[in-house]
């Protein structure tokens, strides 16, 4: 049998491909190793921006030219969240090892519905490790998903299923039954409205409860709201606690929320997008005390575990309820206990996606390579850096802290004596833009109690103590520059 003339997308010349791959690795390593000397962000030139309107390529230019297009037009103009001085929103950094794990995963490209293969066991082991990290029992179930929104929405979908009291998978919410309602603080992340909409609950099914001065939910106000809604004939079914709010990093009293949910018969879901990881540190764990009592948790590994996007996890305490909410049986997937289908499709039965990639590999390799204790120390370092920044802000009379530093978020502004409140929002917005445009650093902006804040959210394993000192100095300098006109 001679080799056929069949087409393929594999390279004609594997040696040439290997050389190109080595070049990609070398360029990438050189780039990553020099990030501290590079701008944190840069605007894109007009001609680069315009170049993205080329017509659909009918004929190919080959692997090498495709790489060169990336190297010239894409790599120099990224979002920048891999940079040591990026602290915008809560966007993780990525790591070199996990980057290579993505390549290794894509090479064997396993389909992670389940199946009888090592990658399935890797994901099961990762889920068991993550459950242990979160203080969840070994009988809990979980699955890796794209991001915090999906992790939280799946938790909410399991809650809806567990609490409905009728066959909601068959009937849906179209039966004219009492309205199913959910509760969380007014600082709950935007996923909750999106999730309530997607699940057909409607965004008005989410009842936002006020927070205290430290952005923590008023638990007694939530209890009163639940009881009032019950008395009005509605069906309160789920309360959400937040571990790490997006604006200020605040965490609800999760122990009190767990007790409330037990008392009132509600499902307790924790949105731990980044805050859940505080549990790894003995020093920080008390902040998320009570989280281990949740019925479900959603959290990200591409935030405070520093992994590249996408990697998030939903854990559900009662594995049977989790499977009941999603499991399917399809004739084209059925087989016995031999061959490739012997592993079943456990992950497809725990969420929405049937085709799933090997997100678990980067988690597995990273936990093995770095160890949980190194993560704990890094998380503590991120928090220590934020306390250092807050101290710098408080020490400088021209700077003002706008919210208590609960975890890894600092909201502050430039507010020198003699500049009126009416001018401060515009002044600080301009400072933020110049920080970004000049490549100094990339914090983001937000509004805290009506005042514009420069917001530093630190889930960056590349930041050094002096990076925050540069930031504080630069804010004052830019502020002065703007005032000097």
The interface with its own copies within residues 102-161 (CB under 8 A) comprises 102-112, 115-119, 121-122, 124-125, 128-129, 132-133, 146-150, 153, 157
Burial (CB count <10 Å: 0-12, 13-18, 19+), residue 422: exposed
b (16+ CB within 10 A) / e for 369-399:
ebeeeebbebbbbbbebbeebbebbeebebb
Residues 74-93 that bind its own copies (CB under 8 A): 74-82, 88-89, 91-93
Burial (CB count <10 Å: 0-12, 13-18, 19+), residue 50: exposed
Nearest to 237 by CA among 180, 197, 184: 180
Smallest distance from its own copies to CB 147, Å: 4
The binder of its own copies chosen from 210, 466, 480, 483 (CB under 8 A)? 466
Instruction: Say how many residues touch its own copies, by CB under 8 A.
Output: 186
398 contacts its own copies (rule: CB under 8 A): no
**CA dihedral for 316, 321, 323, 327, sign (positive or negative):** negative
Task: In whole angstroms, give the CA distance from residue 419 to residue 439.
Answer: 26
Query: Between 29 and 48, how does the x/- string for binding to its own copies read (CB under 8 A)?
Result: x-xxx-------x-xx---x
Residues 436-465 that bind its own copies (CB under 8 A): 436-437, 442, 444-447, 455, 461-465
Residue number with CB closer to its own copies (268 or 304): 304
Task: In whole angstroms, give the CA distance from residue 266 to residue 253.
Answer: 16
Q: Which helix (H) or strand (E) element contains residue 466?
A: helix 465-484
Smallest distance from its own copies to CB 418, Å: 26
Matching residue, tokens 């005042």: 451
Residue number with CB closer to its own copies (241 or 445): 445
* Strand ranges (E), 54-163: 86-87, 141-145
Smallest distance from its own copies to CB 478, Å: 13
Stretch of 212-220, 223-231, 298-306, 396-404 lying at the interface with its own copies (CB under 8 A): 298-306
Query: Between 412 and 431, how does the x/- string for binding to its own copies read (CB under 8 A)?
Result: -----------------x--
Residues 179-218 that bind its own copies (CB under 8 A): 179-180, 190-191, 193-205
The binder of its own copies chosen from 14, 213, 417, 421 (CB under 8 A)? 14
- As a three-state string, the secondary structure of 405-449 is CCCCEEEEEECCCCCCHHHHHHHHHHHHHHHHHCCCCEEEEEEEC
Q: Is the peptide bond before 163 cis (omega within 30 degrees of 0)?
A: no
381 contacts its own copies (rule: CB under 8 A): yes
Smallest distance from its own copies to CB 82, Å: 5
Smallest distance from its own copies to CB 118, Å: 4
52 contacts its own copies (rule: CB under 8 A): yes
Smallest distance from its own copies to CB 111, Å: 5
């Amino acid at each position: 049998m001679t080799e056929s003339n069949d087409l393929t997308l594999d390279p004609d010349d594997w040696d040439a491909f290997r050389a190109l791959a080595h070049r990609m690795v070398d360029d990438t390593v050189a780039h990553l190793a020099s990030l501290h000397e590079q701008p944190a962000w840069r605007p894109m030139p007009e001609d680069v921006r315009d170049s993205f309107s080329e017509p659909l390529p009918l004929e190919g230019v080959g692997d090498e030219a495709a790489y060169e297009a990336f190297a010239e037009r894409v790599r120099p103009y990224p979002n920048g969240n891999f940079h040591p001085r990026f602290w915008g929103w809560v966007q993780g950094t990525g790591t070199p090892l996990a980057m290579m794990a993505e390549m290794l995963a894509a090479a064997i490209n396993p389909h992670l519905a389940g199946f009888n293969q090592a990658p399935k066991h890797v994901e099961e082991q990762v889920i068991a490790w993550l459950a242990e990290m979160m203080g969840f029992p070994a009988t809990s179930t979980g699955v890796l998903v794209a991001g915090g929104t999906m992790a939280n929405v799946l938790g909410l979908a399991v809650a809806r299923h567990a609490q409905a009291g009728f066959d909601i998978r068959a009937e849906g919410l179209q039966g004219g039954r009492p309205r199913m309602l959910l509760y969380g603080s007014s600082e709950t992340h935007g996923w909750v409205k999106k999730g309530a909409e997607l699940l057909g609950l409607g965004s008005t099914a989410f009842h936002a409860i006020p927070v205290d001065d430290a952005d923590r939910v008023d638990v007694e106000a939530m209890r009163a709201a639940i009881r009032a809604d019950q008395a009005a004939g509605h069906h309160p079914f789920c309360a959400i606690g937040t571990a790490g709010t997006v604006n200020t990093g605040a965490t609800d009293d999760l122990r009190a929320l767990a007790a409330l949910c037990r008392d009132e018969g509600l499902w307790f879901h924790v949105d731990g997008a980044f805050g859940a990881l505080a549990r790894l540190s003995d020093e920080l764990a008390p902040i998320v005390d009570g989280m281990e009592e949740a019925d479900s948790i959603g959290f990200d590994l591409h935030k405070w575990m520093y992994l590249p996007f996408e990697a998030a996890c939903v854990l559900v305490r009662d594995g049977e309820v989790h499977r009941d909410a999603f499991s399917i049986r399809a004739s084209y997937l059925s087989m016995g206990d031999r061959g490739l289908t012997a592993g079943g499709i456990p992950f497809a039965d725990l969420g929405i996606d049937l085709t799933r990639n090997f997100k678990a590999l980067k988690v597995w390799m990273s936990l093995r390579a770095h160890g949980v204790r190194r993560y704990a120390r890094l998380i503590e370092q991120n928090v220590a850096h934020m306390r250092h920044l807050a101290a710098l802000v408080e020490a400088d009379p021209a700077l003002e802290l706008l919210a208590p530093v609960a975890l890894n978020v600092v909201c502050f502004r430039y507010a020198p004596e003699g500049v009126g409140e009416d001018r401060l929002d515009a002044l600080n917005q301009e400072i933020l833009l110049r920080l970004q445009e000049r490549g100094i650093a990339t914090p983001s902006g937000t509004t805290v109690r009506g005042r514009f804040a420069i917001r530093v959210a630190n889930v960056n394993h590349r930041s050094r103590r002096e990076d925050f000192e540069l930031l504080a100095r630069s804010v004052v300098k830019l502020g002065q520059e703007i005032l000097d006109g």
